[in-house]
């Protein structure tokens, strides 16, 4: 409706006024929208600059690395981004797929769920540290012989997890499917291996060959 001189607004005036008011409110409440994409506002930049780096000595694959890290850095990111050990993969970053599995003092952990500063001085073994020179670790050789991978993205985590799992089995640790908890070392049947390796996901579904490779190394006939 047009302005008839009685103080009423036209629809165009209402739209223009509303748009201007909304823009002013956004710029007042959210100043970052006025900056170029990817550029933090002054408050965010100041907060980021105040993060104090922490000295961390990581013992990885028999070698000590002195690093200055943001205390929020995960062990996985420290390995990949700071040490260029990219064998450990970032699959889900939520501890659900197992692609980032490494050995910490011989025990398997998801490196995406722990902070690097928590493991100062502890012995960390990644897939790069399993082989001895040109001699493959028995699990690495078995995965090749039994074709235990397809795309290979999960393989490093599978192998590290299998190494930790075999150590657990030798120590007499039971699993959820172990029937007799009074006996010592449990026979690694297919069911035992599948249960113990259930934290490692293979999107290519190479599970039968993975189980066969692990049983080969464990000394159980396939």
Pick the CATH number of 135-222 from 3.40.50.10420, 3.30.420.40, 1.10.150.120, 1.20.140.10: 1.10.150.120
| pLDDT tens string 21-58 | 665 555 555 444 434 445 566 666 555 557 799 999 99
Task: Say which range, 98-102, 186-190, 206-210, has the weakest mean pLDDT.
Answer: 186-190
Tokens matching residue 11 = 């629809």
Q: Given this model, what pLDDT does residue 47 score?
A: 58
pLDDT in tens, 183-206: 777 889 999 999 999 999 999 999
CA proximity to 76, closest of 52, 60, 53: 60
A 10 A CB-CB count for 133 gives: 5
Q: Pick the residue with more confidence: 41 or 80? A: 80
pLDDT value, residue 7: 56
Rounded average pLDDT over 73-93: 97
What's the predicted TM-score (pTM) here? Answer: 0.76
Q: What are the extents of the domains in the chain? A: 53-129, 135-222
pLDDT at 89: 98
First to last CA, the chain: 85
Tell me phi and psi for residue 172, to 5 degrees. Answer: 85, 15
Is residue 194 classed exposed, middle or buried when 0-12, 13-18 and 19+ CB atoms within 10 A define those classes?
middle
Residues 76 and 33: their CA atoms lie apart, in Å, by: 33
pLDDT over 70 for what percent of the chain?
A: 77
Domain 53-129 identical in fold to domain 135-222: no
- Cα gap 205→125, rounded to integer Å: 26
For the chain, give the percent of residues with pLDDT over 90: 71
Q: Residue 182 has what pLDDT?
A: 78
Domain 53-129: assigned CATH number: 3.10.20.30
For the residues 127-131, what does the mean pLDDT come to?
A: 97
Question: With 50 as the cut, is the pLDDT of residue 167 above it?
Answer: yes
Per-residue tokens: 190:
């297919």
Q: Quickly state the pLDDT bin for 76 (edges 50, 70, 90).
A: very high
pLDDT at 15: 65
Q: In whole angstroms, give the CA distance from residue 167 to residue 171.
A: 6
């Amino acid at each position: 409706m047009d302005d008839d001189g009685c103080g009423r607004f036209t629809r165009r005036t209402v739209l223009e006024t509303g748009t201007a008011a909304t823009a002013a409110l956004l710029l007042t409440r959210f100043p970052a929208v006025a900056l170029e994409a990817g550029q933090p506002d002054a408050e965010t930049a100041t907060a980021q600059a105040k993060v104090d780096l922490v000295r961390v000595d990581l013992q990885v694959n028999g070698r000590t690395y002195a690093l200055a890290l943001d205390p929020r850095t995960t062990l996985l990111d420290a390995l990949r981004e700071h040490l260029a050990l990219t064998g450990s993969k970032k699959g889900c970053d939520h501890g659900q797929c197992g692609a980032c599995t490494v050995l910490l003092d011989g025990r398997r952990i998801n490196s995406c769920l722990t902070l690097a500063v928590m493991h100062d001085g502890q012995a960390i073994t990644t897939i790069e540290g399993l082989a001895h020179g040109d001699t493959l670790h028995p699990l690495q050789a078995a995965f090749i012989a039994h074709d235990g991978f397809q795309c290979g993205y999960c393989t490093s985590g599978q192998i590290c997890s299998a190494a930790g799992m075999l150590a657990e089995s030798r120590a007499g640790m039971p699993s959820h499917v172990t029937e007799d908890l009074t006996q010592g070392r449990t026979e690694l049947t297919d069911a035992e291996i599948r249960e113990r390796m259930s934290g490692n996901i293979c999107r290519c579904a190479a599970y039968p060959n993975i189980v066969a490779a692990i049983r080969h190394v464990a000394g159980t006939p396939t």
